[in-house]
Structure 1
């Protein structure tokens, strides 16, 4: 397939954001900042909020529409998101790309192709904080095919993205189900309240209901079910330990077959792969430890402090990660209670230059300790959901790898569309 080149400025309008820091509010309108921009659909759930006056001020240059593209310009530059929900204003260090004479989905995939990424890398300036200028964005060369072919390429790659989004949405639902049951049993104590009122607990069989008491008692955590304990995270784990880093100047310690997790990778709720790997000798010659499946990992340093993930396979980690190896009865309980306490743990971080947690703060963090019999029954219900979650995550990763393989080949004309469509059908 042959293609031509068009400047991005010829097929889209590029609109800069205001170069100022706003006053944020506890409620109001979403403002999209660089940290909110990630590949795929723009998610507004975690955005900071601004008042109506600030929203109107930052909306003067740009009013979002569905299928627009947001791109980051400073720090983590060149990252793009597609607009679906258009109710937001644009924060500083970002820009909007409004497609005019091109299929928006095709343009989005083109912007994420290696062909464009190489242009972006050569265009950024700055040593301490790299910046992608508005001029450089406008001058990006976009590969162009005929309109029908561009639509077909967009549809083929879009089918993969849609399936990936569906799998991730399913996983979000699975976590919501797990958290809802956790809240019912261990936060609201619904089964205990029902028995205290002479009712049968809803949604459980008689054997499960019999595990719950019918009374409450006072504790350091407030009223808790009688016989349960107010304890600390350490009591739920067989061990708690931080990771380590093999010597960087020893080549034999690196590029082996053992996954080595960093705190930034803890952002993935179930990390399936790591960017770096170490060898057995690297493991044995450092303070890194091999953590088993079902280990809950909490990031301790910097911007990710308090983030929580669950290991679905054996991994090691660096010293910025804390591994909670649970007692068997509490494996799902530890993960979900850590997820619920993520923000509280992050608030415990201390340090002048960088906000840090440590193993002691995590180990001694106060939590409810239910009887092992209750935790086991909870695990019986929740662990199949977690396993389904892992299966979906692996499938989504496989589809993402296929998309990333097809993308440069389609954009460069190396792969014919019918061949790509066959690969997509086989993977889906």
Structure 2
């Protein structure tokens, strides 16, 4: 074509290759990501593809497109495409994302993407690889910003978890008090150092109000450990079950009040504790279970996927999602971080039913034992980390705006309607 573009088909430009079954799905801690139709779902110790790859959902999330910038394994629920350079793989990723492959379900009992139909799709692409790469540069920048935001959110999550572990798992303030008593030192001051991460000299430089607040926090921790069924625990803390601090919600929400933005199912909950994404479809039932802001949602199918989300708005969820609500208000972040731990999901798997599609036992989950501090300390912890989750929500809103901008630009750039030069200064 005279304008520097030419017509071809998907099959001629980027033929789809079948992925292969992964037999090592019990090796989820290994370093090679395993992609299925819905993205990374486990890890392996070997790779099918030794370089970057574009992954296309074949079964399950039909037509969903992913990009791996590193070596990976692609399961038999997906196709993949290989290009010589990562830069051109980016172009293929955005190109395939624009074709509506998710709407190309077959009529089989198990819907899937028909490779021959996908290969016949006509496309128009720039003649030169340089122009193809330049074309998607604004989209790459948007995705890089989204990726950076996700890293910030993960850091905030890690900080909240580190504080939880220090206070409620390792009992570091309690142990600091015990060690100080044995050394003839000030137990409260020792606990304050552990809680704040500051030295005694630095504590003396704190503002009076901040020092008093830290001192009040340290006073909530005992200075003794006692034996229990779960090992040594702080004196005065209780051995309780999940049902003593939380309950399952039973409210309902009408289908007319649901949107793709406020409906949560196991399909749009992300594995490895990465939250949620926009739903691809709504249920057909007249009503579904409801959740409210501050509830904790956990996928009850294949608990080893570790799908969990602290809700930041009201909505509805599928029956395969567990919905936890705290019995004591203002302790939502405490419960979320308790359930967020790997040990919780390990217990879910241990008590699950079914082999091919294990599901957590709802009653057994509520019977899980844990050691709990005073409600006052749980509320204080929740208040302390709440600002992290508020910041996370703001970042997620920004990501939604960036994603929407990318979705708008994608077809315009790939059709030639908008030139990269037209966007100078608009995408940074």
Q: Which residue does 2:141 correspond to in 1? A: 159
2:352–2:360 CA contact under 8 A, matched in 1: yes
Q: Which residue does 1:117 correspond to in 2? A: 100
Tell me: CA distance 1:402–1:151, structure 2 relative to 1, closer, same or farther (3 Å). same
Q: Larger relative contact order (C-alpha < 8 A, sep ≥ 6)?
A: 1
Q: Which residue does 1:128 correspond to in 2? A: 109
Q: Secondary structure at the match of 1:156?
A: helix
1:12–1:97 CA contact under 8 A, matched in 2: yes
2:239–2:370 CA contact under 8 A, matched in 1: yes
Alpha-carbon separation, structure 1, partners of 2:136 and 2:195: 45
Q: Which residue does 1:191 correspond to in 2? A: 173
Alpha-carbon separation, structure 1, partners of 2:137 and 2:288: 48
1:414 aligns with 2:399: no
Q: Secondary structure at the match of 1:77?
A: coil
Alpha-carbon separation, structure 2, partners of 1:261 and 1:215: 44
Tell me: CA distance 1:342–1:156, structure 2 relative to 1, closer, same or farther (3 Å). same
Q: Which residue does 1:208 correspond to in 2? A: 217
State the shift of 1:90 in Å: 4.1
Q: Which residue does 1:7 correspond to in 2? A: 9
Tell me: CA distance 1:328–1:403, structure 2 relative to 1, closer, same or farther (3 Å). same
Q: Within 5 Å, give how 1:3-42 maps onto structure 2.
A: 3-12=5-14, 15-18=17-20, 22=23, 26=27, 30=32, 32-34=34-36, 38=39
1:104 aligns with 2:89: yes
Q: Which residue does 1:221 correspond to in 2? A: 230
Q: Secondary structure at the match of 1:71?
A: strand
Tell me: CA distance 1:211–1:269, structure 2 relative to 1, closer, same or farther (3 Å). same
TM (normalized to structure 2)?
Answer: 0.77
Tell me: CA distance 1:258–1:150, structure 2 relative to 1, closer, same or farther (3 Å). closer
Tell me: CA distance 1:254–1:360, structure 2 relative to 1, closer, same or farther (3 Å). same
- Unaligned runs of at least 5 residues, structure 2: 181-186, 197-213
TM (normalized to structure 1)?
Answer: 0.77
CA-to-partner distance for each residue in 1:270-326, whole Å, 9 max, x for gaps? Answer: 547656789xxx9xx96744x432111223356788632111122233433332222
Q: How many residues align?
A: 390
Tell me: CA distance 1:185–1:315, structure 2 relative to 1, closer, same or farther (3 Å). same
1:182 aligns with 2:164: yes
Q: Which residue does 1:145 correspond to in 2? A: 126
Q: Secondary structure at the match of 1:265?
A: coil
Residue 51 (structure 2) aligned to one of 65, 69, 79: 65
Q: Within 5 Å, give how 1:66-85 maps onto structure 2.
A: 66=52, 68-85=53-70
Q: Within 5 Å, give how 1:162-173 maps onto structure 2.
A: 162-173=144-155
- Unaligned runs of at least 5 residues, structure 1: none
